Amino acid sequence: MAPLELLHRHITSIAPLDAEVWAEMSEYWQPVLYKRKQVLTPIGSVERYIYFVIDGVQRAYIDRGGKDATLVFSYTGSFSGILDSFFLQTPSRYCLETLTQSSFLRIQHNDFLNLMARHRALESWTRIGLTGVLAGTLERNIELLSYSAEERFVTLLKRSPQVLNMIPHKYLASYIGVDPTNFSKLLSRVKV
């Protein structure tokens, strides 16, 4: 499937946009390719883009004195970027990096805001999308604060079973908040 078609399909799965809005919006998305382990957004920089992942795996993480904590993964068919930095235009507290070679479509901050100002439907689409992100973030907080390590592991695998084959286990361990050794124990103990 062509990259813009994949993006269009994903956008309309969130909320429909009429053909005129999509035609204008689609002109602003530019293809980019990054190598494996390349930083897209360093800590302290302002996010200038929203990315749509065509291929590859990325992670956002925070560095806590040499020990990082993975916050979120993105992969084919999802949006990526440091959203709070993008919308607030404030320095990012997180780093976004590619875990594999990754291809994207991306749109610049000013272009996106100008499109939203011209098209109420795009502003509504953004609100619906961000509400979904917020709901997912709150659910993840519930998991981290009230689930056992095993429950977090099982929940991750139910939600995204493909991650075991896509993402190094040390990053999955960080994501669910366990030591890599304990992750290995979970992997051998829990039926996948």
Average pLDDT over residues 85-98: 97
Q: What is the pLDDT of residue 192?
A: 64
Question: Could you tell me the pLDDT band of residue 174, with boundaries at 50, 70 and 90?
Answer: very high
- List, for residues 14-49, the tens digit of each pLDDT value: 999 999 999 999 999 999 999 999 999 999 999 999
Structure tokens that stand for 78 in this block = 């999802």
How far apart, in whole angstroms, are the C-alpha atoms of residue 154 and residue 83?
A: 27
- List, for residues 130-165, the tens digit of each pLDDT value: 999 999 999 999 999 999 999 999 999 999 888 888
By CB neighbour count within 10 A (0-12 exposed, 13-18 middle, 19+ buried), where does 53 fall?
buried
Q: Is the dihedral of CA 129, 81, 63, 175 positive or negative?
A: positive
Sheet containing strand 67-75, edge to edge, reads 39-41, 95-98, 57-64, 67-75
Question: Could you tell me the pLDDT band of residue 66, with boundaries at 50, 70 and 90?
Answer: confident
Structure tokens that stand for 151 in this block = 């429950």
Highest mean pLDDT among 59-68, 95-104, 178-187 belongs to 95-104
Contact 159, 143 (CB under 8 A): no
Task: Using DSSP, state whether 46 is helix, strand or coil.
Answer: strand
CB atoms within 10 A of CB 186: 22
Please identify which residue in the block is written with the tokens 């959203």.
83
Q: What is the pLDDT of residue 99?
A: 97
Average pLDDT over residues 81-97: 97
Sheet containing strand 30-34, edge to edge, reads 30-34, 102-108, 49-55, 79-80
Residue 109 reports pLDDT greater than 90: yes
